[in-house]
Amino acid sequence: MSLLKINTYLSLQICKYFFLILFIFLSISWILQLTRLLTITNFINIETIDIIILSFYLIPNIITVIVPFILIFGLLLCFIKLNNDNELIAILSLGQGLKHFKKVFVFFGFSIVIFFSVLNFYISPKIYEQYKIKEYNLRNTIDFNKMTYSNFLNVNKTTILDFSKVENGYEDIFISFKDKKDNLIYAKKGNIYFENNEYNFQLLNGFKISINNEEQIEKLEFLNYSLKIENKSIKIKKINDKNTLTIFDDLKSKNHINVAFKIVDLILILFVIILFYYYNLKNLNFKTNNNIFFSLICAVVLIFNQILKNSQVDILNYLLVIFTIVGFSLIITYFKYRYEKN
């Protein structure tokens, strides 16, 4: 068997398990996020397709979080399978030693680093920004035709609306709003329209209570009453969120902590790949306890990194803590390796 065929076979095996675990992890994470997004609807019947489309914008951000964990399980499953089928021994028997694995690992590691860098430094923040904008606008878009009931809906900062929808309009309409007075309106029936950036209320059979600054109460009963309230909600085009900033935005704004987060994420990708090569693969060390040890060491480092990123930590403390954890993990791994070797 030629060296090219061996390298190609090893590369395909690694990629197969990597993408298999990626698909499983991504599917689970996406479903969980989709379930969360469905709560946006609350009492507003937003089209399901709009929620599903919105959830797809989360995929790059999800991938940047799960890639290090995918590497852990993908590499382990791949080489445990090759080891159990005696394929590793067969390849080593060709007399090339670990050269096959080293070349494949360098190529695989380089590919993952390039992929993760482009995704984490630029693509994911850009797409996540679009997600946040669309989510905000979706949450703050009121379509009365798609509402079954309102449950004291905040139309804007000064207006609260409650009603029950029926076939030919709305019943039990309650409106609380402020202009120069505090106003309360109740109508047995009516219709609500949205035109020219205004909410138009056509109300039937009700009353209006107004309270002025001197706390004098005015009451008006009506058979027919019209009310217009300006729509003060604004669709945003820009979100101020650290996860929406590319590394170029971070450098431009001197957001050093965010730059550190992104670079450390990349370093931890290399940490997982290098640790697996020197601790597991180089020594054909695929016993159950060693696989568990490798998984735990990597998982602890990665989880601590996520905890630190979500806390209010400054850059010096972040770098000190995360590299202390990485260093301590390497020391433990080294002494465990020496103990097993002796």
Confirm if 96 and 3 have CB atoms less than 8 A apart: yes
Task: Give pLDDT, residue 42.
Answer: 54
Task: Give pLDDT, residue 124.
Answer: 94
The pair of three-digit structure tokens given for residue 237, joined into one six-digit string: 């085009």
Q: How far apart are CA 40 and CA 20, in angstroms?
A: 31
Give ∠ CA 118-294-105 in degrees, rounded to 5.
45
Average pLDDT over the chain, rounded to whole? 85
Between 69 and 214, whose confidence is greater? 69
Q: What percent of the chain has pLDDT over 90?
A: 42
pLDDT tens digits, 227-267:
888 766 555 566 667 888 899 988 998 899 999 999 999 99
Please report where in the chains the tokens 């076979």 appear, as a residue.
9
pLDDT tens digits, 182-195:
889 999 999 888 77
Tell me, yes or no, if the pTM score tops 0.85. no
Between 156 and 296, whose confidence is greater? 296
pLDDT tens digits, 157-211:
778 888 888 877 888 899 888 888 888 999 999 988 877 777 888 999 999 999 8
Between 48 and 184, whose confidence is greater? 184
Task: Give pLDDT, residue 41.
Answer: 61
Q: How far apart are CA 249 and CA 273, in angstroms?
A: 29
pLDDT bin (cut points 50, 70, 90) of residue 119 is very high
Q: How far apart are CA 111 and CA 105, in angstroms?
A: 10
Q: 222 — phi, psi (to 5°)?
A: -145, 155
Non-local (6+) Cβ contacts of 316 within 8 A are none
Please name which of 258, 309, 300 lies closest in space to residue 275, comparing C-alpha atoms.
Answer: 300
| Distances, alpha carbon 39 to alpha carbons 32, 48, 51, 109, in Å | 12, 11, 10, 39
162's enclosing H/E stretch is: strand 159-166
Give ∠ CA 144-147-151 in degrees, rounded to 5.
105
pLDDT tens digits, 65-78:
999 999 999 999 99
pLDDT bin (cut points 50, 70, 90) of residue 144 is low
pLDDT bin (cut points 50, 70, 90) of residue 143 is low
Q: How far apart are CA 43 and CA 266, in angstroms?
A: 42
Q: Which of 8-22, 174-188, 191-205, 291-305 has the lowest mean pLDDT?
A: 191-205
306's enclosing H/E stretch is: helix 288-309
- Residue 23 C-beta-side C-alpha neighbours within 13 Å: 6
Task: Give pLDDT, residue 150.
Answer: 62
pLDDT at residue 1 is higher than 60: no
Task: Give pLDDT, residue 206.
Answer: 92
Domain ranges of the chain: 3-140+241-341, 146-230
Averaged pLDDT for residues 314-335? 93
Q: 160 — phi, psi (to 5°)?
A: -120, 135
Q: Which of 110-114, 171-175, 212-216, 290-294 has the lowest mean pLDDT?
A: 212-216
